[in-house]
Amino acid sequence: MTAAVYRGQGDVRVETVPLPKIGPGELLIRVHTCGICGTDLKKIATGSHSAPRIFGHETAGVVAAIGTGVTNFKAGDRVMAFHHIPCGRCYYCERKVFAQCSVYKQVGSTAGFEPSGGGFAEYVRVLDWIVEKGVVRIPDSVSFEQAAWIEPVNTCMKGIETLRLVPGETVHVIGQGPIGIILGVLARRAGARVITSDLHPTRLTMSRAFGLEESIEADRTDAVAAVRALTEGRGADATIVAVAANSLIQPALDVTRPGGRVLLFAQTVHSEAKFDAASVCVDEKALLGSYSASVDLQGESVRFVFSGEMDLTKLISHRFPLEQSVEALELAAHPQPDSMKVIIQPGMGWDKKGS
């Protein structure tokens, strides 16, 4: 089969690799759509993981084969698959810090080589503990493109839950890429007033199309002053940093009122960051983190995506066939003002429900 294979730092190649063999309790999924996630881009860019690997974890497709003992799925089922599921029993699971569970840290899907998601390939093998608790059947009325958002929506829901928003609070979302827009929509859904900011006016136009009307063009306006002007001089009750730049941590603290919260959502590469520690201590601002998905929110994220409450396909700006994966990854790694979500579609053209 064809796959986009990571061969080292900054090096991905479209190659022919063996079709994955499945074992008892496992599934083989023929991939239709796989979204490109920022975490995969960072792994490729930094060379943080050994090679070879096949990345891609926002995966939706059709069951091609089932392993012995699988009774809840059959060939032909339209499904999406999470790539992490926790054990549910350990110290961290008992405290609902699922992303720190040792089982959760084991990737449960692969297209070959070390399990790394595998969605950037024609077929992906889903391991048994994921089949048991992390595969979701897609209704016929829902497209693969919509269903592929379930995992990223779950991560956003987890971030909003971490903020513990109170209805009527003001939330400032820094960055209006696809994830920033989803976070804004979910914050508004939780009863918050949402103020967005981005350097690119085209992205703010997109966020307004999703009902996020209050926005700041960060390349032309002092966002800190603007948010304070909109909040009687206080600042936002909570600020979400939906951009990977560590340089935005201090501005996020500055734009947040004393006693408020700042959520780091995109800081997924270990590195140092400079910020005023007294903002946290003296001004009593809480610096929070949220990473990956929560199994407790799996049902809610599925219902939200399947309901069509938010047409997530409108966030997709570029669709690439698997053979053009290198171009797709390059665009996603260097986004343009008019680019939003970039997806790879090994199944482009083989199912009318793909878009």
Residue 355: predicted pLDDT: 43
CATH number, domain containing residue 344:
3.90.180.10
Residue 351: predicted pLDDT: 55
Is 149 within a domain? Answer: no
Per-residue pLDDT band for 349 (boundaries 50, 70, 90) equals confident
Average pLDDT over residues 300-308: 98
Average pLDDT over residues 268-296: 96
By the 8 A CB rule, do 43 and 10 touch? no
Is 211 within a domain? Answer: yes
Mark which of 234, 262, 289 sits at the end of a domain.
289
Mark which of 235, 262, 289 sits at the end of a domain.
289
Q: Average pLDDT over the chain, rounded to whole?
A: 96
Is 210 within a domain? Answer: yes
Number of helices and strands (H, E) in the chain? 12, 16
On whether the pTM is more than 0.85, the answer is yes
- One domain for residues 22 and 124: yes
Residue-number span of the structural domain to which 160 is assigned: 156-289
- One domain for residues 241 and 337: no
Is beta strand 135-137 parallel, antiparallel or unpaired with respect to 78-81? antiparallel
Inter-CA distances, 64 with 70, 113, 134, 186, 226, Å:
13, 20, 17, 34, 53
Is 147 within a domain? Answer: no
- One domain for residues 210 and 252: yes
Total count of domains within the chain: 2
124-170: pLDDT as tens digits: 999 999 999 999 999 999 999 999 999 999 999 999 999 999 999 99
Tokens of 139: 């209704």
- One domain for residues 229 and 255: yes
Q: Which amino acid is it at 130? A: I
